[in-house]
A and B are shown apart, each in its own frame.
Chain A
Amino acid sequence: DAKTTQPPSMDCAEGRAANLPCNHSTISGNEYVYWYRQIHSQGPQYIIHGLKNNETNEMASLIITEDRKSSTLILPHATLRDTAVYYCIVRVGGAGGGADGLTFGKGTHLIIQP
């Protein structure tokens, strides 16, 4: 799986959009970008994933650059409950994705300020 690089921490004001960057310059053509988050003491929670097109769901939006070497997770209206560690993971995915495990880095600790 391709390696990812994320800033160790970020702050965002409550109600503003939180934009979390991720670099994955060695991504392969069949690898997806996945985002998970881990709220303190809980198990990781899947947020969103994409291959090359921008994606949006009820939790977030994912913007992937045209060359696919980086992406940004956007939480449009951050709340205090969005304070968590956010992990960007690149791997073969989709319904036919591999059954082997995920490789987690240290992620970005996002702190939402009141």
Chain B
Amino acid sequence: NAGVTQTPKFQVLKTGQSMTLQCAQDMNHNSMYWYRQDPGMGLRLIYYSASEGTTDKGEVPNGYNVSRLNKREFSLRLESAAPSQTSVYFCATSRGQPQHFGDGTRLSIL
């Protein structure tokens, strides 16, 4: 999806390891979001940032931290990965509505 770039695209971790998922946008949007999607389910909101310098918890924030580094970048950190965090992670951006999504990071935790 043009405009929202997620890195890495794939990652395998061992339980207890830490990592940071990166999201960058060039759409000049104020709001950014992190979702997770488990098999057969819709997306669930982890954290969001309405504007640079602010972050808020979503539906499933436990085990995650976020940083809104600047207007373009919003990162998601797993401090101590657990198998339950195996999922596909999507970043999104918006100016009001609608939201624009990246292509996801597929994360497996063994």
Given A93-B96, A95-B96, A99-B48: A105 touches B42 (CB 8 Å cut-off): yes
Indicate if the CB atoms of B98 and A43 lie closer than 8 Å: no
Q: Mark B20-53, 1 if CB is under 8 A from A, else 0.
A: 0000000000110101000011111100101100
Is A68 on the interface with B (CB-CB < 8 A)?
no
Q: Which of B31, B42, B56, B104 contacts A43 (CB 8 A)?
A: B104
Interface residue? B58 (CB, 8 A):
yes
Number of residues of chain A lying within 8 A (CB) of chain B? 27
Interface core residue of B40, B43, B48, B50 (most chain A CB under 10 Å): B43
A36 CA / B90 CA spacing, docked (Å): 14
Contact between A104 and B42, CB atoms less than 8 A apart:
yes
Cα A45 to Cα B3 in complex, Å, equals 13
Given B41, B45, B50, B56, which contacts A102 in the complex, CB threshold below 8 Å?
Answer: B45
Q: Nearest-CB distance from B82 to chain A (Å)?
A: 22
B90, B101, B102 pick with most chain A CB within 10 angstroms? B101
Shortest C-beta distance, A94 to chain B (Å), equals: 6
Of the residues A43, A49, A94, A107, contact of B101 by C-beta under 8 Å: A43
Q: State the CA gap A99–B97 with chains docked (Å).
A: 8
Q: By the criterion CB–CB under 8 Å, are A101 and B45 in contact?
A: yes
30 contacts between A and B (CB under 8 A): A34-B97, A36-B98, A43-B1, A43-B101, A43-B102, A43-B104, A44-B101, A45-B1, A45-B101, A46-B98, A46-B99, A93-B98, A94-B96, A96-B96, A97-B96, A98-B97, A99-B31, A99-B50, A99-B96, A100-B45, A100-B58, A101-B45, A101-B48, A101-B58, A101-B59, A103-B45, A104-B43, A105-B42, A106-B41, A107-B42
User: Contact residues of A with B, CB < 8 Å?
Assistant: 32, 34, 36, 41-46, 49, 87, 91, 93-107
